[in-house]
Chains A and B, each alone.
Chain A
Amino acid sequence: MSVGISIKNALKKYGENTIIPDLSIEIRDKEFFTLLGPSGCGKTTLLRMIAGFNTIEGGEFRFNEKLINEMEVSKRNIGMVFQNYAIFPHYTVRQNVEFGLKNRKLPKDEIRMATDEFLELMQILEYKDRMPERLSGGQQQRVALARALVIKPDVLLMDEPLSNLDAKLRMEMRQVIRDLQKDVGITTIYVTHDQEEAMAISDRIAVMKDGVIQHVGTPREIYHRPSNVFVATFIGRTNLIEADYSAADKLVSMDRFTFPMERLPVDSDMPVTLSIRPEDFQMSAMSASGKSGGLICRITDVVFLGLNTHYQVELSSGQLIEIIHESVMDSPFKIGDEVQLTLKSEKINIFTRDGSRNLIHA
């Protein structure tokens, strides 16, 4: 039976060192929830608190209504997939998968049937009598998944499960994990530092930094309306440009360029930071008259990557901006050209100058 998870005011300390000061989240039943953040942000620490490997210094951790703070690891009914899989090297594939069922003292034929079912599901039935050292990374990953799921856990926890695989296999396995999670219908918490992986796989993502959740939302929300500059820069690529907002005429001005911004719920003039993703610029040649309707800049670098072409341009202020355009047969732009930029203004984000708050979001 899958459960919802509720964490209120979680506190984690190592001695005097506070890793997670005060963290609350609600994870819905059957949801694929990802903890995303740079290394050292506390995401694995939080996962291990839920699993029971780390002590909980404060707050309430609940599966549905049940408090699990002091519950033993083995009583929590959690399926866990470890970063290095933690496959028992002295057991065959089948023995690894059976392990949890045997500890639950189930009848023999039941163990056999359940094990076969999950070996089949993970498409590793043919390797059932192999020793782990004779399996590839992807196969070991499948064993780890089968072993975690066969015990019919309430929650599935995964700690960077794809980080040891090569790029191609990583793409394949993340689809496998995604499909499996939907098939089985199990509440899943997934830890990763790879934002692309997180977006591909998750229903919702919590972006963490320094033990604090910065933003919780769907991949779409987090990408398009990041709650602060950290999230905007961590998820995808973006250009940060300082600008000023004038409340009276609802205009944003920067570097001799001004554009209207109607939707900003701000009543006074204030300095802001714009976050503009590389694909949200439109670049065009200077008009013959020399009169421009956009931000004027000079191309300093062009990198052709097939599908897209990356441009680096320099503003008159000296700031470098990254722009991505779909490649075309005959590129009209080359290094040294003066060009003008316009913005897809509905897609840009405007933060307070210190970057702590998204003004559009609020």
Chain B
Amino acid sequence: MRKKYDIWSLVTLSVLGLYAIFLIYPLFNLLSQAVVDKDTGTFTLAYFVKFFGKPYYFNTLLNSFKVTFGVTILTILLGMPLAYIFTRFEIFGKSFLRILIILSSMSAPFIGAYSWILLLGRSGVITTFFKNAFGIHFPSIYGFSGILVVLTLQLYPLIFLYVSGALKNVDNSLLEASENLGCSGMKRFFIIIVPLIGPTLFAGGLLVFMRSLADFGTPMLIGEGFRTFPVTIFNEFISELGGDDGFAAAISIIAIIITTIIFLVQKYLSTRKTFSMNSMNKIRPVKARGLTKVLIHVYSYALISLSIMPQVYIIYTAFRKVNGTVMVPGYSLGNFSDAFEKVGRSISNTIIIPGISLIIIVILAALIAYITVRRRNILTGIADTVSMVPFIIPGSVVGITLLIAFDKPPILLSGTMTIMVIGLVLRRLPFTIRSSVAVLQQIPMNVEEAALSLGSSKLNAFYKITMPMMAAGLISGAILSWVTMISELSTAILLYVGRTKTLTVEIYTQIIRGNYGIAAALSTILAVLTLISLLIFNKVSKGDDLSM
């Protein structure tokens, strides 16, 4: 007797159903908005013609490319050597530095941008100090270079983490063999190590690329005249002079096409160059001597200080006395009491919305990982592919897609918490599924088979046996998702209404309004939340690697 359908078929169909409603349907909706004339209901490419026809719009695309390619290259140039140094040498205070690196990458980029403005902006403390003391004028932090600096310092940790992970798989005897055959030092780094970690470098580079392409807050605050893609999408959609849904949809479609192409190119490049490596002898850090020792310490400390500085400064200003929108001498906790009084709701929202999302994400990720690993068939294959789609959709496009789809019956969700939860779940699921898949692949199938042979039902075997074995991996994945979600801005900024403001949205709003004290206090609260989450992560994962 062969049973063709079981509980997992039902799970597969439910997952596909959810994706059909909350992803496929909205995407088709977006596409139809982009190519159907609102008034006549006929097919039109007018929006696309408008975009590519006017330099005003088209240039934002070029600007975005300038930023993303620049940031990707710079993060690799900064992050890869740092990872190599950390793997190869003993560094004073290494574990502390590692926490700082992770911490600096976990805040919302626009907060970094804002802090850099406070430091290096027109009336920034450093700018003013040098102008008054030495008459030196700093180059402008606004525009392209500012975005580049902020995003690079924000995102190089991703490359650092990816490359560190890859270096763990490089067998030390490869390095020894190379040295034995007469090739060591920098030469060895470039002809042996770089090719071996190439695929991971591509993957990390892709993530940096996607993040910097999608980032909305940074160019909005520090870009001034330098407008990028997400800014344009946002402006066209939200514009107070009556946003144009159709045009915003068309730009969104263009964004998705571009990211898809980049994604496929990366996939093609890295699958062609992947080597299976099993590392019996890991690279062990050695003591550096002489000039090398000095140089690697200077490099590590300088880079990491620079990247953590904005956060530190924001936290410092949170304790400054503020009068209206102007900082005055002296320190107080006034900013915090103001923050709790006026916008306390955003704090609870930041716990509730990502919290609910997290529960849904963990359950769905475990189920989807299970069906794609253990029940390979066409349907689960489709579920696997579809679940990855949001990975290549920029955050603001996710926001617009959901708004357009659920702003009208049959499903009216705009302005609710639900729609914000959906946005977060969609965006974060691909990452959590990937890490769950990796965890699940480590667990042998026969453990579950043993449970089945002992009379357990399939679902029971999953919850009682497989889930607990996945737990540690799932939880550490979940904490990372949590950290990313509480600092999320680009989707939330489109979906929020007064009642559902989150911390990041509130901080952004307060910065725009000039309430620097409250903004700083809220940023500090966010930083503390992040830090606590990371410490819990460290505890749970027992010092395992972070993977985004």
Contact = CB atoms under 8 A, between A and B. Distances in A.
B347 to A, nearest CB: 50
Interface in B144-183: 171, 173-174, 176-183
Interface in B165-218: 171, 173-174, 176-184, 192, 195-196, 198
Interface stretch (B246-254, B272-280, B292-300): B272-280
A104 B178 CA distance: 12
B181 A86 contact: no
Contact of A86 (B176, B273, B275): B176
Contacts of A100: 180-182
B182 A74 contact: yes
Given A99-B183, A100-B182, A147-B181, A89 B176 contact: no
State which size class the interface on B falls in: 20 to 34
Given A73-B184, A90-B195, A83 B275 contact: no
Given A84-B171, A89-B196, A90-B275, A78 B180 contact: yes
Contacts of A84: 171, 173, 278, 280-281
Contacts of A147: 177, 181
A53 interface: yes
A56 to B, nearest CB: 16
Interface residues of A, number: 22
Contacts of A52: 180
B195 A82 contact: no
A89 B275 contact: yes
A80 interface: yes
Given A51-B180, A53-B176, A86 B192 contact: no
Nearest to B180: A80
A86 B183 contact: no
B518 to A, nearest CB: 53
B182 A90 contact: no
Interface string B301-335: 00000000000000000000000000000000000
A83 B182 CA distance: 19
A274 interface: no
Interface in A47-101: 51-53, 73-74, 78-80, 82-84, 86, 88-90, 99-100
Nearest to B273: A90
B183 A74 contact: yes
A148 B183 CA distance: 14
A86 B177 contact: yes
Nearest to B182: A103
Given A89-B277, A90-B195, A104 B174 contact: no
Interface in A131-160: 133, 147, 151
A74 B275 contact: no
Nearest to B170: A89
Contacts of A79: 180
Given A88-B192, A100-B181, A80 B174 contact: no
Contacts of A74: 179-184
Contacts of B174: 86, 88
A14 B323 CA distance: 61
Given A74-B179, A103-B181, A83 B173 contact: yes
A78 B180 CA distance: 7
A158 to B, nearest CB: 12
Interface string B263-290: 0000000000101111011000000000
Nearest to A98: B181
Interface in A290-315: none
A298 to B, nearest CB: 44
A192 B177 CA distance: 19
A83 B181 CA distance: 16
Contacts of B278: 84
* Residue among A80, A88, A147 with the highest chain B CB neighbour number at 10 A: A88
Given A99-B183, A151-B182, 14 more contacts: A51-B180, A73-B176, A73-B179, A74-B179, A74-B180, A78-B180, A83-B173, A84-B278, A84-B281, A86-B174, A88-B174, A100-B180, A100-B182, A147-B181
Interface of B: 171, 173-174, 176-184, 192, 195-196, 198, 273, 275-278, 280-281
Question: What 10 pairs between A and B have smallest CB-CB spacing?
Answer: A103-B182, A100-B181, A89-B275, A86-B173, A86-B177, A82-B173, A74-B182, A90-B195, A80-B180, A73-B179
22 contacts: A51-B176, A51-B180, A53-B179, A73-B179, A73-B180, A73-B184, A74-B183, A74-B184, A79-B180, A82-B176, A86-B171, A86-B177, A89-B275, A89-B276, A90-B273, A99-B178, A100-B180, A100-B182, A103-B181, A103-B183, A133-B275, A151-B182
